[in-house]
Structures are given as C-alpha cells and as structure tokens.
Amino acid sequence: MQNENSSLIGGQVLRYIVNGLVATAVHYSILRYNIEVLGVPSAGLANAIAAMFGIAVSFLGSRYFVFRASSGGIARQGVMFLLSYGLIALLHGLILYLWTDRAGLNYTLGFLVATGMQVACSFVVNKFLVFR
C-alpha cells in the first residue's frame, strides 16, 4: 500500500510539473501575442489577460490530467482553486517583499525561493483541498 501511494503521488507530481509548464507556456504565448500582435499598450494589462488563460489551463489540467481521480463539482473546485491561487500569490508577494524590500537580498533569488514555496503549497492545497 505504501509503495502504491508513493507511486501515485510521484505520478501526480510529474503531471503537476508538466501541467505547470504547459500553463506557463500558454500564459507567456498569449502575453507576447497581446503585446506584439494585438498591440496592447500596457504590459500589465496584456499580462493580466494572459494570466486568465494560464490560470484556466492550469485549472483544467489539474482537474483532468494531474488529479484525475478527483471528485467534486467543477464549480466548487473552481472557486477553491481561485481562492487558493489568490492566497498563494499573496504569500509569494509577501515573501518577495520581505526578502528584497525589507532584507535587501537579491530579488531574483527571492523570486526563486517564493516560486518554490508557491509550487509546493499549490500542489499540496490542490491535492488535499481542491481536487481531493
């Protein structure tokens, strides 16, 4: 049983990484499209629009690819996903603020630390709360 659970979680972690890479590629591709093809004058606005697509891909990938055996209504999962995503994004920002603005440390390293926390937290939250 222990080996079966480890294998299941290992497969989910691998699918989670793939899903994250795909969602990030969609996000970045749409950001570039918004700026370079559509001529959206604000990178912030172009990114916000692109982020909606990346988040949608991440949610659908999590629901149907990463945590395939999940149960629960899509509306509940969607709300929980967005709430947890928002809270984790705030935590990401707080870590970067404390790391860089308060402690005076390199922002790139702080971004990597905060992103590592974000990836770990979102996997755990999605597995045990959103897509249980």
Of 14-18, 71-75, 93-97, 112-116, where does mean pLDDT reach its minimum? Answer: 71-75
Are 110 and 47 found together in one domain?
no
Residues 35, 93, single domain; the answer is no
Shared-domain flag, residues 80 and 64: no
Domain endpoint, select from 38, 69, 100: 69
- Per-residue burial over 35-51, b = 16 or more CB atoms within 10 Å of its CB, e = otherwise: beeeebeeeeebbebbb
pLDDT tens readout for residues 19-65: 999 999 999 999 999 999 999 999 989 988 999 999 999 999 999 99
Tokens of 36: 């370079």
Query: Are 84 and 126 in contact, with CB atoms under 8 Å apart?
Result: yes
Q: Give CA torsion, residues 115, 119, 120, 126, to 10 deg.
A: 150
The pTM for the full model equals: 0.81
Instruction: Count up the domains in the chain and report the number.
Output: 2
Domain encompassing residue 94: 72-132
User: Considering 54, 69, 84, which residue would you say is the last residue of a domain?
Assistant: 69
